[in-house]
Amino acid sequence: MADILDRDLLSLLDQPLLLKLQVIAKLSIAESTHRAYVDEGKLQPIWLGKIEYYFPRDLNKIPLASTGKRRS
């Protein structure tokens, strides 16, 4: 069991971490939407000092923003 956990942990550490602005750009969302996703638990940042980092695998849980026309 410990070997499985060690392999999972090592695979996570092999992934590059994304910064907050990179996440916002990838998901095509506003900063207010990003904050709402964090507050709702849809995004879970890793805090190192005052900087937020994210695993790329966590972005797969968030649907991409619609690029359709907005009604006014």
- For the chain, domain boundaries: 12-59
Surface-to-core class of residue 62, CB atoms within 10 Å of its CB (0-12 exposed, 13-18 middle, 19+ buried): middle
Which two structure tokens, joined as six digits, stand for 44?
């879970």
Tens digit of each residue's pLDDT (9 = 90 or more) over 11-69: 656 678 999 999 999 999 999 999 999 999 999 998 888 899 998 888 887 776 555 55
Which pTM was predicted?
0.68
Cβ distance 46 to 52 under 8 Å?
yes
